[in-house]
Amino acid sequence: MSATLVDLAARVDRPTSPLVTYYDLDTGERVELSGVTTANWVAKTANFLIDDLEAVIGTRVRIGLPTHWLRVVWLLSAWQVGAVVVERDARIAVTGPDLAADEPERVASALLPFGVRFPQPPQGFWDIGAEVPSHPDIYLGLSFPSADDEAIELTGLAGTHADLLATPPDPRRLVLTEGDVARDARLLVAACRGGGSLVLCRGGDADAVERVAVQEQATIWTPTV
């Protein structure tokens, strides 16, 4: 496996099996992305990052999306282009429909099913649903990060590409409820390396999450002490 996080989704052990499954327990939405489908979304988003947002190695990106399949896509896309996932002092911010961002470059998702665009363009923001799908699903960048380039700088998780790739692999299918970007980043790398997958749940209550776990034959993730 490569010494960087580039093409991480495309290198999963079971590319046609689910890598990310997303549930909105309040609306009934369910989205399932295989390794191949995730890699296609990542390539499109990475091309958007370099073509429209002029991201380069070391560009700081703040991902303000909730626990959602697009959070996974943006983590992988940032690493693809060599950007650093941060929580402050970013040039590019990615947010949901709350439009909570004041960085120089602002990107937003309506978080509607299938990643569709806002009904009305959000003023001052790039609309993920309008901009990303038209980009090629093969990454066209010419510059790639090295193992020693910084990949993430968050409270509780910071390091280079090599540091993140030292994350122990995890073959489990894990159910995740709302959590921070650092948790999702760590568990995403572990799943990609170990042949596991993530089931992301927003909304609902504990009983609804338990039903998802049973349906998906998955384990509800709990933090270790």
What integer pLDDT is reported at residue 13 of this predicted model?
83
The model's pTM: 0.97
**Mean of all residue pLDDT scores within the chain:** 96
Instruction: Flag whether 145 is in a domain.
Output: yes
Instruction: Flag whether 188 is in a domain.
Output: yes
Tokens of 48: 């958007």
Full domain range(s) for residue 197: 9-220
Q: Are strands 150-154 and 126-127 parallel, antiparallel or unpaired?
A: unpaired
In CATH, what number is assigned to the domain containing residue 47? 3.40.50.12780
Q: Which stretches of 121-219 are DSSP H helices?
A: 128-131, 161-165, 181-194, 206-215
What integer pLDDT is reported at residue 181 of this predicted model?
98
Instruction: Flag whether 3 is in a domain.
Output: no
Instruction: Flag whether 2 is in a domain.
Output: no
Instruction: Flag whether 163 is in a domain.
Output: yes
Q: How far apart are the first and last CA of the chain?
A: 30
pLDDT digits (tens, 9 = 90+) for 179-193: 999 999 999 999 999
How many folded domains does the chain comprise? 1
Is pLDDT of 149 > 80?
yes
Distance CA 37, CA 42 (A): 9
Is pLDDT of 225 > 60?
no
SS3 171: coil
Instruction: Flag whether 135 is in a domain.
Output: yes
Instruction: Flag whether 225 is in a domain.
Output: no
Q: Decide: 68 and 202 in contact? Cβ < 8 Å.
A: yes
What integer pLDDT is reported at residue 1 of this predicted model?
46
pLDDT digits (tens, 9 = 90+) for 25-50: 999 999 999 999 999 999 999 999 99
Instruction: Flag whether 4 is in a domain.
Output: no
